[in-house]
């Protein structure tokens, strides 16, 4: 399967986008509901399997670490295979992790089945469910993403009580199987994450973002160091605007490989450069290092640069944002994990403990 095209249609701000919002909403209900209501299961593990509270903490910590830490890998997978397929695979893996937990005899194995397998599956659903919503909306993007994210709160409220009920009726092993079936339904919602179609007949003008690039030097001179290739997706009767200068497609039959030009139908069609397969105007470091662009070393270097872009990691504002998230994440999950167990120790019933988690 080929990677998504760099040229996409403008965000429609509605239409099928609202179906995508609904699908993302229910994915968040299941995904975050299970993650943050895990404290109800942890209390059951401590009572029936002899799992220590320290081990329960490790299970949750590794789960959340894998869920969020795999973000760069998931981003590359979305570029390569698309949001829909990645989310479907994630739903299958997460469901498999919960199903395999049915056979666990030692609580340490939950680190493999829930933390690693299910955690990575949920990670594959986490990023596409947000990015796909942003692609369909521009002016209403904040509202659309806000509606989709509301599924997290609803999921935590529902799953705390639901897991407690399933444990009371079917024991924790039966609850694991039922939860596996619930997670698998996310694959159905993922099928609704349809990629934004590119209208082939209606796109007559492409805006090219040039930044530090001077169009005339690339179009009229061979001394700029550009190696050219054809653009099969453009017809010869279309016109391209370059910083308010107009040139025929015959003149722009080629695009530089050394400093490729990003082709944008509309800036509003993209959520961020990190979530789409955009070209950049910066030279490819592999071309100046003497290694072949197709050599294994050059390929590895490009992959690492895609995972950890130097310009992004060198941005002070982004580093400050990372630091704030680090401090926030240190204590965010602890109340969700330990509140049900602590309430049961204080003499409250399992239902009351689960309700306390739902109210949080």
What are the tens digits of pLDDT across the range 137-194?
888 888 888 999 889 889 988 998 899 899 999 999 999 999 999 999 999 999 998 8
Residue 244 lies in a domain: no
In a domain, 349, yes or no: yes
Position 264 in a domain? no
Name which residue leads in pLDDT, 45 or 1: 45
Residue scoring higher pLDDT (259 or 16)? 16
Number of domains in the chain: 1
Does residue 282 surpass a pLDDT of 50? Answer: no
For residue 3, the model assigns a pLDDT of 43
Q: What is the mean pLDDT of residues 195-203?
A: 61
Going by pLDDT thresholds of 50, 70 and 90, the confidence category of residue 198 is low
Instruction: Check pLDDT > 50 for residue 205.
Output: no
**Mean pLDDT, all residues of the chain:** 74
Backbone angles phi, psi at 259, to 5 degrees: -135, 80
Mapped to the 3 state alphabet, what secondary structure does the chain carry?
Answer: CCCCCCCCCCCCCCCCHHHHHHHHHHHHHHHHHHHHCHHHHHHHHHHHCCCCHHHHHHHHHHHHHHHHHCHHHHHHHHHHHCHHHHHHHHHHHHHHHHHHHHHCCCHHHHHHHHHHHHHHHHHHHHHHHHHHHHHHCCCCHHHHHHHHHHHHHHHHHHHHHHHHHHHHHHHHHHHHHHHHHHHHCHHHHHCCCCCCCCCCCCCCEEEECCCCCCHHHHHHCCCCCCCCCECCCCCCCCEEEECCEEEECCCCCECCCCCCCCEECCHHHCCCHHHCCCCCCCCCHHHHCCCCCCCHHHHHHHHHHHHCCHHHHCCHHHHHHHHHHHHHHHHHCHHHHHHHHHHHHCCCCHHHHHHHHHHC
Residue 295 inside a domain? The answer is no
Q: Is a pLDDT exceeding 70 seen at residue 124?
A: yes
Judge whether residue 206 has pLDDT over 50: no
Residue 67 lies in a domain: yes
Q: Which residue has the higher pLDDT, 9 or 80?
A: 80
**Confidence band for 238, pLDDT divided at 50, 70 and 90:** very low
Taking alpha carbons only, the member of 120, 109, 107, 91 closest to residue 179 is 91
302 φ, ψ to 5°?
A: -65, -40
- CATH code for the domain of 109: 1.20.1250.20
Q: Which residue, 105, 59, 97, 30, is CA-closest to 337? A: 59
- What pLDDT, in 10s, does the model give residues 28-62? 999 988 888 888 888 888 888 888 878 888 888 89
Q: How confident is the model at residue 292 (pLDDT cuts 50, 70, 90)?
A: low
Q: According to the model, what pLDDT value does residue 310 have?
A: 78
Residue 352 falls inside a structural domain:
yes
Please list the residues that pair with 246 across neighbouring strands: 241
Q: Is the predicted pLDDT of residue 208 greater than 50, yes or no?
A: no
71-93 confidence digits (pLDDT tens): 888 988 988 898 999 999 999 99
Q: What is the pLDDT of residue 288?
A: 44
Domain residue limits at 114: 15-198+322-359
Average pLDDT over residues 274-294: 45
Q: Which of 25-34, 52-61, 329-338, 351-360 has the highest mean pLDDT?
A: 25-34
Contact 267, 273 (CB under 8 A): no
Q: Is residue 185 part of a domain?
A: yes
Q: Is the pLDDT of residue 97 over 80?
A: yes
Domain assignment present for residue 130? The answer is: yes
Using N-to-C axis directions, what is the helix angle for 17-36 and 38-48, rounded to 10°? 30
Report the predicted TM-score, pTM, of the whole model to 2 decimal places: 0.65
């Amino acid at each position: 399967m080929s990677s998504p095209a760099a040229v996409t249609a403008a965000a429609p701000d509605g239409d099928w986008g609202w179906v995508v919002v609904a699908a993302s909403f229910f994915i968040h209900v299941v995904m975050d509901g299970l993650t943050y209501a895990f404290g109800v299961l942890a209390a059951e593990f401590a009572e029936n399997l002899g799992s220590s509270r320290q081990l329960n903490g490790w299970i949750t910590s590794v789960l959340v670490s894998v869920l969020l830490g795999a973000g760069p890998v998931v981003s590359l997978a979305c570029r390569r295979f698309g949001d829909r397929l990645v989310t479907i695979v994630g739903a299958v893996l997460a469901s498999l992790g919960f199903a395999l937990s049915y056979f666990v005899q030692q609580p340490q194995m939950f680190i493999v089945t829930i933390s690693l397998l299910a955690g990575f599956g949920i990670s594959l659903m986490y990023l596409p469910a947000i990015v796909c919503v942003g692609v369909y909306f521009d002016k209403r993007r904040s509202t659309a993403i806000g509606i989709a994210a509301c599924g997290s709160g609803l999921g935590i409220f529902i799953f705390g009580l639901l897991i407690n009920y399933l444990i009371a009726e079917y024991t924790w092993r039966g609850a694991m199987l039922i939860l596996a079936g619930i997670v698998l339904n996310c694959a159905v919602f993922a099928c609704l994450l349809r990629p934004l179609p590119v209208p082939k007949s209606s796109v007559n003008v492409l805006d090219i973002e040039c930044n530090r690039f001077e169009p005339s030097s690339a179009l009229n001179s061979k001394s700029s160091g550009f190696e050219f290739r054809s653009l099969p997706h453009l017809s010869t009767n279309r016109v391209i605007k370059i910083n308010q200068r107009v040139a025929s497609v015959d003149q722009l039959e080629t695009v530089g490989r050394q400093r490729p030009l990003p082709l944008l139908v509309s800036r509003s069609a993209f959520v961020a450069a990190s979530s789409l397969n955009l070209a950049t105007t910066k030279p490819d470091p592999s071309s100046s290092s003497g290694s072949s662009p197709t050599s294994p070393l050059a390929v590895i270097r490009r992959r690492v640069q895609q995972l950890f872009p130097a310009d992004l990691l060198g941005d002070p504002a982004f580093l400050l944002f990372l630091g704030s998230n680090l401090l926030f994440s240190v204590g965010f999950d602890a109340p969700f994990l330990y509140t049900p167990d602590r309430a049961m120790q204080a003499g409250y019933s399992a239902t009351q403990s689960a309700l306390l988690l739902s109210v949080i």
